[in-house]
Structure 1
Amino acid sequence: MLNLKEIVSVTLILFSVIDVVGSLPVIIDLRQKSGKIESGRATFASGVLMISFLFVGERILKLFGVDVASFAVAGAFIIFLIGLEMILGRTIFKSEINTGGATHIVPIAFPLIAGAGTLTTIISLRAEYQTVNIIVGIILNLGLIYAVLKSSGWLETRLGSGGLEVLRKIFGIILLAIAIKLIKTNLIADF
């Protein structure tokens, strides 16, 4: 059943993890190098990746003998590290972004939007939220992603580098809190 509280929670969690606003400097750089960003295609490809992983991800885990609660804790550690990256301004994960190839799929749809952190978060959310609410949260995020990609030039001039940095730090703190909640909830479930 649709649950507004769950939808809002999932939407905010995914928005923080995807961090499309925090990725604006990379998106702006790619737009300058390639001439334009194919917002519609990038958004569609991201959505296909996220929704596919929502349904197939758990089966892949079962293939390796891993339960969703354990994967949720592992995902929480990744979310925690992403939050630390955002707050401290340090790179923990090696960047896999390149500027060659189809700019709408690589690197924007994957790994920038639907990267390891996002996919891990989606499967981790299955441990706590209903699938229908996760799908609605993904769709709402796809709308936000499309809007940000489409208006990246306008956002660059309005926010400035200081504004983008403040947003990045705020979402970093939110991610740390989410990670701690996921760890606490899923570790208690095992006892």
Structure 2
Amino acid sequence: MFAGFNWQQMFSAFIALFAVIDIIGSIPIIINLKEKGKGVNAMKATIISFVLLIGFFYAGDMLLKLFRVDIESFAVAGAFVIFLLSLEMILDIEIFKNQGPIKEATLVPLVFPLLAGAGAFTMLLSLRAEYADINIIIALILNMIWVYFVVSMTGRVERFLGKGGIYIIRKFFGIILLAIAVRLFTANITLLIEALQKH
């Protein structure tokens, strides 16, 4: 199909991004924004999120080189961010507070930090340390299609799943994220230790 394409890598990357983007868990936030009269444009949110994420996916490496940070170090740091995100989802606590000045709902808080936030940026670069680019890009495109579908049909999705369903899904993906954080940390800390020993 494509050079370097691997079903298992693509599926693993899809699940990892699905968990960190957590659009299902964001449904109550989107509904709350709509109730407050703040317009949410599904197509605009999806396109801007995709452009930001794909831009960071390719430019993130250059930024890291600029600050002399290797991808393994970033992945270990990312593991901590993903760990904190998972704690938010599992324990119902707020660690990442959005106190920015912009009030437009499509860009803030929907695109940033809910869709294209620190967690998603971190996950993309962390995945890049392990998987072929093509698998991550396909996984990201599939996630963005899913995001568009959910954002454009938030009312129906909430009615279908119910508040209890959304709550359970959020908890489940919180545990998935926690497992991903542990795996990222253990895999990349070993590489870092090996690199330090060589020096």
Is the partner of 1:34 in helix, strand or coil?
Answer: coil
User: Who is 2:129 aligned against?
Assistant: 127
Equivalent position to 2:176, from 166, 174, 177 = 174
- Superposed CA RMSD in Å reads 1.4
User: Who is 1:158 aligned against?
Assistant: 160
Please list every run of 5 or more consecutive structure 1 residues that lacks an aligned counterpart in the other structure.
none
Q: Is the 8 A contact 1:96 1:111 kept in 2?
A: no
For the pair 1:5 / 2:4, whether they are aligned, the reply is no
Q: Is the 8 A contact 2:98 2:109 kept in 1?
A: no
User: Who is 1:32 aligned against?
Assistant: 35
Q: How far did 1:144 drift? A: 0.6
Normalised to the residue count of structure 2, the TM-score between the two structures is 0.91
Give the letter aligned to residue 15 of structure 1. Answer: F
Normalised to the residue count of structure 1, the TM-score between the two structures is 0.95
1:94-133 alignment to 2 at 5 Å?
94-96=97-99, 100-101=103-104, 103-133=105-135
For the pair 1:89 / 2:95, whether they are aligned, the reply is no
Closer/same/farther in 2, CA of residues 7 and 96 from structure 1, 3 Å limit? farther
Identity %: 47
Identify the range of structure 1 (87-96 vs 66-75) with the bigger mean alpha-carbon deviation: 87-96
User: Who is 1:70 aligned against?
Assistant: 73
Q: Is the 8 A contact 1:87 1:173 kept in 2?
A: yes
Is the partner of 2:95 in helix, strand or coil?
Answer: coil
Q: Is the 8 A contact 2:39 2:106 kept in 1?
A: no
Q: Is the 8 A contact 1:98 1:106 kept in 2?
A: no
Size of the alignment, in residue pairs?
190
Please list every run of 5 or more consecutive structure 2 residues that lacks an aligned counterpart in the other structure.
195-199
Equivalent position to 1:139, from 115, 127, 141 = 141
- 2: distance between equivalents of 1:98 and 1:157? 32
- 2: distance between equivalents of 1:82 and 1:17? 8
Q: How far did 1:35 drift? A: 5.7
Q: Deviations over 1:99-154 (max 9, x none)?
A: 722x3222211111001111111111110011111111110000110011011011
